[in-house]
């Protein structure tokens, strides 16, 4: 009689969601979302008066965007190891790709050679990054609601 009871207990325990794992997963999602907020702030600052910004200001802002994109991409890499649903995993993969492209596109290098290219192409590139962030955040909200915590 004790054998079936132990088996039933093990089955029920396996079906109960691990609250510690869920809490860690949600904390990782929150930390990643915070890094995306920093990326959005940097991209908004980059766009500010872009047509009238000095070359030094463009390079400084580009370096800030590059740092935040690289940092968020690394945070996303850590999150990718977590157990997520397929839609969120897909959007996370797309967003990590966009963040890595952003980090590469906004690398300033030495001198002023990239200033004109940065100023010309940045709005288009940043709009694509904003779209990837928006799609990821929608999938993350859906995932958070499903696991039991509203965003």
Instruction: Please tell me the predicted confidence (pLDDT) of residue 129.
Output: 97
Instruction: Please tell me the predicted confidence (pLDDT) of residue 67.
Output: 96
Mean pLDDT of 109-137: 90
Instruction: Please tell me the predicted confidence (pLDDT) of residue 15.
Output: 45
Cα–Cα distance for residue pair 20/92, rounded to 1 Å? 22
Quick one: tokens of 98?
């966009």
Q: Say if residues 93 and 124 touch (Cβ distance below 8 Å).
A: no
Give tens-digit pLDDT for 4-22. Answer: 555 545 554 554 456 777 7
Instruction: Report the predicted TM-score, pTM, of the whole model to 2 decimal places.
Output: 0.80
Residue 132 has pLDDT above 60, yes or no: yes
Place of tokens 């691990």: 18
Mean pLDDT of 117-130: 92
- Helices 115-147 and 19-47 pack at an angle, to 10 degrees, of 150
Nearest Cα to 22, choosing from 83, 96, 102, 105?
A: 83
Give tens-digit pLDDT for 87-114. Answer: 989 999 999 999 999 999 998 877 777 8
Instruction: Please tell me the predicted confidence (pLDDT) of residue 64.
Output: 96
Instruction: Please tell me the predicted confidence (pLDDT) of residue 16.
Output: 45
Instruction: Please tell me the predicted confidence (pLDDT) of residue 11.
Output: 54
Q: Label residues 80-115 b or e (16+ Cβ within 10 Å = b).
A: eeeebeeebbebbeebbebbbbbbebbebeeeeebb
Q: Is 23-147 CATH 1.20.120?
A: yes
Q: Say if residues 100 and 66 touch (Cβ distance below 8 Å).
A: no
Give tens-digit pLDDT for 19-78. Answer: 777 777 788 889 999 999 999 999 999 999 888 999 999 999 999 999 999 999 999 988
Instruction: Please tell me the predicted confidence (pLDDT) of residue 84.
Output: 78
Q: Residue 150 region, left (φ>0) first, then alpha (ψ -120 to 50), else beta? A: beta
pLDDT bracket for residue 136 (50, 70, 90): very high
How many CB atoms are closer than 10 A to CB 25? 19
């Amino acid at each position: 009689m004790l054998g079936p009871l132990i088996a039933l207990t093990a089955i029920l325990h396996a079906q109960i969601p691990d609250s510690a794992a869920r809490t860690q997963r949600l904390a990782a999602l929150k930390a990643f979302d915070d890094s995306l907020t920093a990326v959005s702030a940097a991209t908004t600052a980059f766009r500010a008066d872009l047509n009238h910004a000095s070359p030094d200001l463009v390079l400084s802002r580009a370096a800030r965007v590059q740092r935040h994109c690289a940092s968020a991409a690394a945070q996303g890499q850590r999150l990718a190891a977590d157990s997520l649903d397929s839609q969120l995993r897909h959007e996370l993969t797309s967003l990590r790709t966009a963040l890595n492209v952003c980090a590469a596109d906004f690398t300033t290098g030495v001198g002023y050679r990239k200033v004109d290219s940065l100023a010309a192409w940045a709005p288009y590139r940043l709009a694509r990054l904003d779209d990837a962030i928006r799609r990821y955040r929608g999938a993350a909200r859906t995932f958070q609601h499903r696991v039991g915590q509203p965003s």
